[in-house]
Structure 1
Amino acid sequence: MPIQARWPLQAAWQCFRRDAVLRGWVASGLAMALAAGVSLFSNPALAAHGFALHGDLKYQADFRHFDYANPNAPAGGTLTLANPDRRTSFDKFNPFTLKGTSAPGLNALMFESLLISSADESASAYGLLAEDVTVAPDELSVTFTIRPQARFSNGDPVLASDVKYSYDMLMSKASSPGYRSMCTDVKAVIVAGERTVRFEFKQRNRELPLIVGSLPVFSKKWTAKVPFEKLTFEPPVTSGPYLIERYDAGRGIIFQRDPKYWGKDLAVRRGTFNFARVAYRLYKDETAKLEAFKAGEFDAIVEYKAKNWAKSYQGTRFRNGELLKTEFPHRNGAGMQGFVMNMRKPVFQDVRVRQALILALDFEWLNRQLFYGAYRRLDSWFSNSELAASATFDGRPSPGELALLEPLRAELPPEVFGPDVVQPSTAAPRSLRDNLRQARRLLAQAGWTYTDGALRNAKGETLVFEFLDDGGAMSRVITTYVRNLEKLGIQVNQRTTDFALYQKRLEDFDFDMVSIRFPDSQSPGNELRDRFSSEAAGTPGSDNLFGLKSPVVDKLVDNVLHAHTRQELVTAGRALDRVLMHGYYIVPNWYSASHRVSYRKTLAYPERLPYYYTAEGWILSQWWRTDLQPQAR
């Protein structure tokens, strides 16, 4: 049961992080073998077809298609999907601006970037709009050459000036602040030729060439009549495989594959985006959506609620085989999902209070009673990954971690130098009562004692806060959690609000506690600044919902960003994870290592699954229909 991701403000940003290039950069002096078997850094003038963070690129320059794509997949038919999140309407086609709600599917189907990631490598990217890329000898700039055949939907060539224009718009205050945070170290974008664009950097940051290579590119003509921040239903002028065919802002949108799509024969596109049309239908709530799927109104659904998966996917269409249900394994890092405590509010500023609130969550009961044993407890910001502090042999800092932590010892709690944080459990011989007793002791140490039917401080003030909810799948979990808090004498006001107001309050940091899922990354990088940096804490709309302002965390994030090798990245990631977990900024929830998908039997997918993928993106880009005559691409 995931927590609702943040839309519309972070819609473009989160899709960008999931679907664009996986983060990272080549270590200084690390030999990156290309098709010719040479090192990028041994000849800085050599233009490469892609980047590998560690070792060799899997695919050489003459590769024909990604192994997880079916180059012989039939093209044609319509894929009908439901709204992939809780948006029930939309009022614009611009997924990057702050105001309003964008239509579903825009990022994946219409917008392209200079580079595209490989879903079976943890940190590799290959040319999409760009045919090659050159890194300067001092690593302070990167130059992309745009493919001569690259075209926008209006027939115009994609030029370097369009890349610069797109960058300037994304860096404007009208766009999500996540883009600006990721590109903090970009000094300038230079149009060096009609099809040549150079990004210059303020300092060495091995991730930056891949970051700027993954930014969406669109035509200047999109805003020929309307300023970027005021775009509503002006169709985007983009280079992607689909165009908007028609729409109804309150009911749905239909995309049609562009018959003149320029990139259909590229190796990175072969066997992908096989449907002639992609339609989204909007449903008012999750129950209506599920019942509509079972009635045959759309083709596939990704299920996030364990109870639904166990109990609701049954009926005539399942019995006769018309509808199928499958769990697809993945190797994605789990990211972090949990109840965020906003430390801008005084009630959460004492670490002992935050620890007590974590002790009140009974995961074992929830997993048994509500989730049908489907989940594992999150114990790290990088769970299901080698970057987790808990992945060390004995849970204690390695020598490499200590080398990063020791200079900061005076600013860190001593517990950081001991075992990693173990999440509280109610499995025998422990119990919820034991955990609540421990929580009460911590609260008393923080000055909160039970008096006159409530938890009060020395001034007689009660410990009270609001839990903001958008009425989604987490509501019953929140209610159970609140009951446990009430046993401690904590008063929690559950506030359920509509989706638009919910998003606005998140953007303004106007909440006490809220349920959030932060996306995963196989190679975390500059997105950590948007999530944890002191600067982001004061930037409305950033991922730093906690209000975390810590010079120590800022330094550890920089260590991750400037890691030279995978081992250095792992070490820096574990040190950061260790400090964050000992800060107790979030009540960790749970994760699953598989995608639960139900679909019509007339849909098919490649035999070879990708390693790192989202279920929705995989269905859109890799699946096809088996019940219609294929159409020419």
Structure 2
Amino acid sequence: MFVATGIAAGPLHAQDETIVSHGYSFYGDLSYPADYPHFNYVNPDAPKGGELAISFVGALDSMNPYARQGRAHAFSVFMYESLLGEGGAGTAAPADVYGEYYGLLAESVEYPPSKDWVIFHMRPEAQFSDGTPVTAHDIEFSHNLLLDQGFKSYADSVRRSIPKVEVLDDHTIKFYFADGISRRSLIEQVGTVPAWSKKWYDETGARLDESRLETPPGSGPYVVDSVDISRRIVLKRNPDYWGKDLPFNQGRHNFDSLRLEIFGDDTAAFEAFKAGEYTFRSEGDSKRWASGYDFPKVRAGQVVQKELPNGNPPTPTGIVFNLASPILKDQRVREAVALAYNFEWTNESLQYGLYNQRTSFTEGTPLMAESTPTGDELALLTSLGDLVPSVMLTEAARIPHVSNPDRLFDRRQARIAMRLLDEAGWTVGDDGVRRNADGTTLTLNYLFNSAAGATITAVMENFVSNAQKLGIAVRFEKVDPSQYTARKRDRDYDLVHGSYSSFLAAGTGLSQRFGSEDAAFSLFNPAGLASPLVDKLIDVALNADTREEETAALMALDRTLRHEFIMIPLWFNPSHWVAYYDQYAHPEIPPYSLGYLDFWWYDQDKADALRAAGALR
């Protein structure tokens, strides 16, 4: 039995053997004590005031991100809090530790060493922005609303693992967990569900799965000020925010308003930034980063261009294969298609050599598989018998191919690709097009967002051109953002520029992203991966008793995902690229969040100087 002492948790209740704590982590170790005054990385004396304005490229038509139709922005979830607090729009808080959660709507969490259930003791002073209290009934309602009207892959997973929720009184709620399943991620899962107002939903008759512009009241530090869905969304800081004095919130939520400016394409968005229509830009285009910021305001020091550290593993972004496509079920075809992508030429010729090529789903972390398996990982893989392909035990983890940086179409890699296609039964005809024995053309549709930036569009057009030279009839379908979102949800593509989530620890989200049970419809599994070996490794990771066992299982999972070859890995940037008008300040950036919407602050004197100089509108 875990004895809760020191900073790890609160006192043990011996009579019922429960642990009561101000926060939660699976292994019981918390970095912040119960009496912490603020998170270590914030400036607790940061001034309040001013505005931070960012941009969004594309079309928005909803303020409800849970709707089955429509497209919403992260600003639509900024108003909502949970029992265990998070940063804005689901970012980490605290952002200097991983896998630790601290009470926000809940003042304490109680659970037995077995973690068969959890009780949250809520703060009675918590209230929604309309002045009504946040109660356990709202938490129960929100949990059930996600099950009844939320995304199917999430709801199915939660129903299997959380069979019952019970309101013990107005400010106490208990969740029961199913027998025979891992306790990983269950407490934090129920503890991070957004709290919605039951009263508002009852009075309006609104549904979670329908697109709408009206938003229910939240309990968070910001409220919606105005919405013009084609132009801008503005949030303002709630002066009556109930939680402003909590240690959890010290040095955070410093701006009086947050503004989102909406643009149809990235070129227009950048020109608007130069003109001062918005004030903070997180840059994702290497060409623009290298050459586009040589304009007068940068030279005058009115706009700051800065690289800041990023401790998160990069998002596993790439060209994702739809494994339900009959053509792509053959891994030889996937291998051949991948050989059409020339990272080396692309990086040097189009991206100024600023990127690294991503290899792993846990890039740059201790969980990244390298070389051949050894130690605990090897022992685990060996114990799984025929589930593990023999090649995984004897060869190094898969890494991307290397192409000629001097020539877009690498003839050596092309010969390998053409041999693979021949072996797979797709032979080339006199017209240069590949067909199988039935005369069917090797055709693939590549779904792409037309609002994407010019550089990434050029990269993908070059990839498609190379694939076509191999005899593959690739249709590069550039569709508007609304169509793109709808077709991604319906998995209406052979190839798509998409992503998975990286992982630093075991959690039930691994099953939603990579597991077989939800593979046919999960929005988080765009390839539709369904692998018995992946399922087993997720299960082992979820049921690990020690960090060492968990690490071995997750390293083996990374190795297996790379072996399954569900996407062509693209590039990553090891830093945050940001540009902003010189009216903001920030503390030392913590590992797991850039935090510009969270713990940066406004410098009024600098802002006044910018306006006096005409740098800002």
If the length of structure 1 is used for normalisation, what is the TM-score? 0.88
Deviation at residue 41 of structure 1 after TM alignment? 10
How do 1:319-398 residues align onto structure 2 when only pairs under 5 Å count?
Answer: 319-390=299-370, 395-398=371-374
**1:270 counterpart (247, 250, 263):** 250
Mapping 1:57-68, distance limit 5 Å = 57-68=30-41
Distance in 1 separating the partners of 2:78 and 2:142: 17
The counterpart of 1:601, out of the listed 582, 593, 601, is 582
State the distance in 1 between where 2:550 and 2:500 align. Answer: 20
CA–CA separation in structure 2 for the residues paired with 1:80 and 1:247: 14
**Most deviating of 427-436 and 193-202:** 427-436
Shift in CA distance, 40/517, structure 1 to aligned 2, threshold 3 Å: farther
Q: Distance in 2 between matches of 1:399 and 1:227?
A: 54
Q: Residue 442 of structure 1: which of 402, 407, 420 is its match?
A: 420
Name the CA distance, whole Å, in 2 between partners of 1:428 and 1:510.
Answer: 33
Distance 1:264 1:47 in 2: 24
Q: Corresponding residue for 2:610? A: none
Paired with 1:71 and 1:605, the residues of 2 have a C-alpha distance of: 12
Aligned twin of 2:400: 423
Shift of 1:578: 1.3
The answer to whether structure 1 residue 620 and structure 2 residue 604 are counterparts is: no
Relative to structure 1, the CA distance from residue 317 to residue 190 in structure 2 (aligned partners, 3 Å threshold; closer, same or farther) is same
Cα-to-partner distance string for 1:406-434 (whole Å, 9 max, x where unaligned): 34432443211121112100258999222
Secondary structure of 1:142's counterpart equals strand
Give the distance between the partners of 2:578 and 2:319, measured in 1 at CA: 26
Q: What TM-score do the two structures reach when normalised by structure 2? A: 0.91
Q: Does 1:89 align with 2:33?
A: no
- Which amino acid in 2 is paired with 1:492? V
C-alpha distance in structure 2 between counterparts of 1:532 and 1:266, whole Å: 38
Aligned-partner SS, 2:529: coil
Once the 2 structures are TM-superposed, how far is the Cα of residue 132 of structure 1 from its aligned partner?
0.5
| Aligned CA distance change for structure 1 residues 174 and 61 (closer, same or farther; 3 Å) | closer
Quick one: structure 1 residues 524 and 480, their matched pair in 2 at CA, closer, same or farther if it must change by over 3 Å?
Answer: farther
* Residues 149-298 of structure 1 aligned to structure 2 (within 5 Å): 149-175=125-151, 177-178=153-154, 180-181=156-157, 184-202=160-178, 203-223=181-201, 224-229=203-208, 230=210, 232-298=212-278
Q: Deviations over 1:36-91 (max 9, x none)?
A: 777879884231011234573211111111111111010012222212xx333333
Aligned-pair distance for 1:377? Answer: 1.1
**What pairs with 1:300-315 in structure 2 (closer than 5 Å)?**
300-315=280-295
CA distance in 2, matches of 1:341, 1:384: 24
Which consecutive unaligned segments of at least 5 residues does structure 1 have?
1-28
1:331–1:267 distance in 2 versus 1, CA, 3 Å: same
8 Å contact from structure 1 (residues 115, 125) kept in 2: yes
Cα separation, 1, equivalents of 2:182 and 2:101: 19
Distance 1:232 1:553, change over 3 A: same
Q: Taking structure 1 as reference, are residues 158 and 349 closer, same or farther at Cα in structure 2, changes over 3 Å only?
A: same
Matched letter for residue 88 of structure 1: A
Q: Are 1:47 and 2:20 an aligned pair? A: yes
Task: Report sequence identity in percent.
Answer: 36
Change (3 A) 1:41 1:490: farther
Higher mean C-alpha deviation, range 105-114 or range 569-578: 105-114
Quick one: distance in 2 between partners of 1:421 and 1:40?
47
Residue pair 1:32, 1:54 contacting (<8 A) in 2 also: no
2:557 matches 1:576: yes
State how far apart, in whole Å, the 2-side matches of 1:97 and 1:585 are: 27
Letter of the 2:590 counterpart: P
CA contact (8 A) 1:34 1:48 kept: no
516, 520, 531: which one aligns with 1:538: 520
Shift of 1:140: 1.1
Contact 2:137 2:167 (8 Å CA) reproduced: yes
> Secondary structure at the residue paired with 1:621?
coil
In structure 2, list runs of 5 or more residues that go unmatched. 87-92, 608-617
Deviation of residue 113 (structure 1)?
4.0
Going from structure 1 to structure 2, the CA distance change for 1:176 and 1:74 (only over 3 Å counts) comes to: farther
The residue type paired with residue 57 of structure 1 is: L
- Give the drift of 1:279: 1.5
Partner of 1:477: 459
Greater RCO (Cα-Cα under 8 Å, separation 6 or more): 1
Q: Which amino acid aligns with 2:488?
A: L
Deviation sequence 1:88-139 (CA, Å, 0-9, x none): 3333x32222222235412234444433332111211111111000112432
Partners of 1:110 and 1:243 within 8 A in 2: no
Partner in structure 2 of residue 35 of structure 1: 7
Match of 2:486 in 1: 504
Is 1:410 the equivalent of 2:386? Answer: yes
State the match for 1:467 in structure 2: 446
AA paired with 2:170?
A: E
Q: Classify the secondary structure of the residue corresponding to 2:518.
A: helix
Which residue pairs with 1:520 in the alignment?
Answer: 502
* Partner secondary structure for residue 218 of structure 1: coil
Secondary structure of 2:382's aligned partner: helix
Instruction: Tell whether the 8 Å contact from 1:89 to 1:251 is kept in structure 2 after alignment.
Output: no
Match of 1:115 among 67, 85, 90: 85
Structure 1 partner of 2:52:
79
Distance 2:32 2:315 in 1: 27
Which stretch shows the higher mean deviation, 207-216 or 425-434?
425-434
CA distance in 2, matches of 1:53, 1:549: 27
| C-alpha deviation, 1:524, in angstroms | 4.4
Kindly provide the CA deviation profile for residues 7-26 of structure 1, in whole angstroms up to 9, marking residues without a partner as x: xxxxxxxxxxxxxxxxxxxx
CA distance in structure 2 between the aligned counterparts of 1:490 and 1:162, rounded to whole angstroms: 54
Seen in structure 2, the aligned counterparts of structure 1 residues 204 and 553 have a Cα distance that, compared at 3 Å, is closer
Query: Structure 1 residue 433 and structure 2 residue 404: aligned?
Result: no
Q: How far apart, CA to CA, are the structure 2 residues paired with 1:141 and 1:363?
A: 49
Aligned to 1:559: 540
Q: Is the 8 A contact 1:470 1:502 kept in 2?
A: yes
Residue number in structure 2 paired with 1:22: none
CA distance in 1, matches of 2:421, 2:128: 60
Specify whether residues 444 and 629 from structure 1 end up closer, same or farther in structure 2 by C-alpha distance, changes over 3 A only: closer
Cα pair 1:336 1:520 within 8 Å, conserved = yes
C-alpha RMSD over aligned residues: 2.4
Partners of 1:524 and 1:477 in 2: CA distance = 34
1:401 touches 1:572 (CA, 8 Å); kept in 2? Answer: yes
Q: 1:353 to 1:33 in 2, by over 3 A?
A: farther
Match of 2:615 in 1: none
Q: Which amino acid aligns with 1:35?
A: I
The verdict on how the C-alpha distance between 1:515 and 1:573 changes in structure 2, with shifts beyond 3 A counting, is same
In 1, the alpha carbon distance for the partners of 2:464 and 2:589 equals: 40
Change in Cα spacing, 1:103 to 1:455, as seen in structure 2 (3 Å) is closer
Q: Which amino acid aligns with 1:506?
A: K
- Give SS of 2:247's match: coil
Deviates further, 547-556 or 103-112: 103-112
2:612 matched residue in structure 1: none
Q: Size of the alignment, in residue pairs?
A: 590
Moved more, 468-477 or 318-327: 468-477
The CA deviation at 1:178 is: 3.5
| Inter-partner Cα distance in structure 2 for 1:44 and 1:312 | 61
Of 172-181 and 272-281, deviating more is 172-181
What's the CA shift for 1:543? 1.5
Q: Which residue of 2 aligns with 1:17?
A: none
Q: Who is 2:121 aligned against?
A: 145
CA–CA distance in 2 between the matches of 1:415 and 1:39? 50
| Secondary structure of the corresponding residue to residue 535 of structure 1 | coil
- In the alignment, is the contact (CA less than 8 A) between 1:182 and 1:530 conserved in 2? no
